[in-house]
């Protein structure tokens, strides 16, 4: 089986660099592309050393129209199978459109639009050969507004949005998923005009760290989201662009992005003050509406996630009949196989085995629960193993004797979230011991058994 790689353009700094780190953290092999002398060699060594993944890099100037063919040839010649394509390369800037030279205009269109479209076009056949292919394009919330002094930049990012969502629809019945990442302001590069118009505290609230943006982007890509908005500010910006009348939205961005020289007359300053007053009120109202919208849609999103998880578990168990016991944790499945002394953690959405933990125990297990970073396994002879994660590769295993007659039939392990305890389901084999039937508690705070008799409960109980 050939090795798969994630190809990332614009990977030397800012969001692109953090996207490479976020992918390496997940164990993805990385191909880095950026300008010559931009630090790719150092980044490559850092990712290899810290995350134990395969990394290679290619230095090239994407402003060159032949660069995409060079990248494709490099991957082909070296036998790199690309299953994830992340387009992060791009240029920005803020200046009146009339001051841009022809070379400036062509460079921005080439890098932000032409290169992105061409590299997708070239790599689609490669992605179709993979079990699952992913494309993540980095756009901006600027794409939703008519921004003065950023007209060309906003236009190229709007192109990225439309191309991504249209191709997503075109390739819907294939193995390729396309997502577009729409960050707002990043602390890596803050617009000087905007920064002069707000306090440092407000600026920090409205700008996200590149690492947070990248993490949201990779997570959303793997979840096959259509549009990804990292942080509450970007969600509010998107909601604003859809809810506000265009004329009022234009007032907002003019007040924010026009340079001070463009509003130097008393009349202009008065209009700006009035607009800022109206803007503040509107932003507060929109924030409230956004919170209500997100809150009202939460049950639906949770229900969809639950249905997907149930379907994943059913498929997984059907394909793995030797599973002895299992538990679900977020979107993953932890399980133990019969006659195997290891605990496995599998991500069905990414089809990836994420952990293989040796238990050094050949017993048969009746139940498995995950809670607060620890796995709890119930062995059929009356013993609980607690597997606590110390770091990404080390686990500490502790054993606890169940104070029950081992002739009792231990049926399963449950989590009682309301009382922070495990419950052990006991069915006595002998009819005369029926008074021992029931649930026996194991306190998760003190890691001790609560009593020697059955516990009665009414709610907040679920088996994992």
21 and 117 both lie in a single domain: yes
427 and 352 both lie in a single domain: yes
State the DSSP H helix or E strand holding residue 89, giving kind and residue range, or none if neither: none
Tokens of 340: 């195997």
pLDDT at 457: 40
Q: Are 181 and 137 in contact (CB under 8 A)?
A: yes
Please state, as a whole number, how many other Cβ atoms lie within 10 Å of the Cβ of residue 188: 17
C-alpha to C-alpha distance for 351 and 222, rounded to whole angstroms:
11
Query: Last residue of some domain: 171, 205, 229?
Result: 229
* Tens-digit pLDDT string for the chain (464 aa): 458 999 999 999 889 999 999 999 999 999 999 999 889 999 999 999 989 899 999 999 999 989 999 999 999 999 999 999 999 999 887 888 999 999 999 999 999 999 999 999 999 999 999 989 999 999 998 888 888 888 999 999 999 999 999 999 999 999 999 999 999 765 545 444 444 444 444 445 556 788 889 999 999 999 999 999 988 777 777 776 677 667 766 776 776 666 555 445 555 555 555 555 555 555 555 556 555 555 555 555 555 555 666 666 777 777 777 887 888 876 788 888 887 888 888 887 767 777 788 887 777 788 888 877 788 888 877 788 888 876 656 778 888 776 655 455 677 787 777 677 777 777 665 555 555 566 667 777 776 666 544 444 433 333 34
CA 140 to chain centre: 17
pLDDT at 257: 65
189 and 300 both lie in a single domain: no
Partners of 178 in the β-ladder: 135
**pLDDT tens, position by position, 174-197:** 999 999 999 976 554 544 444 444
Residue 314 maps to a domain:
no
Helix axes 246-257, 231-243, angle to 10 degrees: 130
278 and 303 both lie in a single domain: yes
Q: Confirm whether pTM is higher than 0.75.
A: no
Domain containing 293 equals 235-308
Nearest to 327 by CA among 138, 180, 464: 464
C-alpha to C-alpha distance for 228 and 139, rounded to whole angstroms:
10
Residue 263 maps to a domain:
yes
Residue 159 maps to a domain:
yes
CATH number of domain containing 56: 3.40.50.720
Output DSSP code: residue 346.
E
State the DSSP H helix or E strand holding residue 220, giving kind and residue range, or none if neither: helix 210-222
Please state, as a whole number, how many other Cβ atoms lie within 10 Å of the Cβ of residue 10: 26
Nearest to 88 by CA among 47, 124, 122, 137: 137
C-alpha to C-alpha distance for 371 and 324, rounded to whole angstroms:
19
3-class SS at 391? coil
221 and 114 both lie in a single domain: yes
Query: Last residue of some domain: 194, 229, 264?
Result: 229
The count of domains in the chain is 3
Query: Last residue of some domain: 204, 229, 254?
Result: 229
CATH number of domain containing 403: 2.130.10.10
Q: Are 183 and 141 in contact (CB under 8 A)?
A: yes
Tokens of 143: 């794409």
pLDDT at 95: 83
379 and 427 both lie in a single domain: yes
258 and 337 both lie in a single domain: no
248 and 201 both lie in a single domain: no
Average of per-residue pLDDT values in the chain: 78
Tokens of 227: 């549009």
Q: Are 133 and 222 in contact (CB under 8 A)?
A: no
Residue 395 maps to a domain:
yes
Residue 313 maps to a domain:
no
Tokens of 233: 């500010």
Sign of the Cα torsion 316, 317, 322, 325 reads positive
pLDDT at 324: 79
Q: Are 369 and 362 in contact (CB under 8 A)?
A: no
C-alpha to C-alpha distance for 370 and 356, rounded to whole angstroms:
15
CA 342 to chain centre: 28
């Amino acid at each position: 089986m050939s090795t798969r790689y994630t190809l990332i353009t614009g990977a030397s700094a800012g969001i692109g660099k953090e996207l490479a780190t976020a992918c390496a953290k997940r164990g993805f092999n990385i191909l880095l592309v950026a300008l010559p002398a931009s630090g790719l060699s150092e980044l490559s060594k850092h990712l290899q050393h810290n995350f134990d993944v395969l990394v290679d890099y290619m230095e090239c100037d994407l402003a060159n129209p032949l660069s995409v063919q060079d990248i494709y040839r490099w991957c082909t010649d070296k036998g790199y199978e690309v299953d994830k394509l992340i387009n992060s390369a791009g240029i920005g800037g803020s200046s009146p459109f009339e001051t841009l030279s022809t070379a400036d205009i062509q460079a921005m269109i080439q890098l932000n639009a032409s290169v992105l479209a061409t590299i997708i076009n070239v790599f689609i056949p490669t992605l179709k050969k993979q079990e699952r292919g992913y494309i993540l394009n980095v756009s901006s919330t600027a794409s939703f507004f008519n921004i003065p002094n950023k007209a060309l930049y906003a236009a190229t990012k709007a192109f990225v949005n439309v191309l991504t969502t249209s191709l997503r629809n075109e390739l819907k019945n294939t193995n390729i998923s396309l997502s577009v990442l729409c960050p707002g302001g990043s602390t890596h590069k803050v617009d000087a005009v905007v920064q002069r118009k707000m306090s440092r505290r407000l600026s920090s609230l409205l700008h996200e760290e590149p690492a947070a943006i990248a993490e949201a982007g990779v997570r959303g890509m793997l979840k096959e989201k259509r549009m990804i908005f990292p942080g509450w500010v970007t969600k509010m910006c998107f909601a604003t662009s859809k809810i506000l009348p265009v004329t009022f939205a234009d007032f907002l961005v003019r007040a924010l992005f026009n340079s001070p020289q463009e509003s130097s007359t008393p009349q202009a300053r008065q209009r700006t003050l009035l607009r800022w007053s109206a803007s503040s009120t509107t932003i507060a109202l929109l924030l409230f509406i956004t919170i209500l919208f997100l809150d009202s849609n939460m049950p639906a999103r949770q229900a969809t996630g639950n249905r997907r998880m149930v379907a994943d578990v059913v498929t997984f168990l059907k394909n793995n009949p030797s599973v002895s016991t299992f538990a679900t944790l977020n979107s993953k499945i932890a399980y133990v196989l019969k006659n195997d002394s290891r605990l496995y953690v599998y991500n069905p959405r990414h089809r990836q085995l994420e952990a293989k933990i040796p238990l050094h125990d050949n017993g048969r297990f009746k139940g498995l629960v995950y809670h607060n970073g620890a796995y709890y396994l119930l062995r059929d002879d009356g013993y609980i193993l607690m597997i606590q994660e110390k770091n990404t590769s080390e686990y500490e295993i502790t054993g606890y004797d169940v104070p029950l007659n081992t002739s009792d039939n231990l049926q399963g392990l449950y989590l009682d979230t309301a009382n922070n305890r495990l419950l052990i389901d006991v069915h006595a084999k002998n009819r005369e011991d029926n008074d021992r039937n029931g649930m026996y508690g194991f306190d998760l705070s003190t890691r001790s058994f609560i009593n020697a008799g059955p516990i009665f409960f009414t709610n907040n109980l679920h088996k994992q």
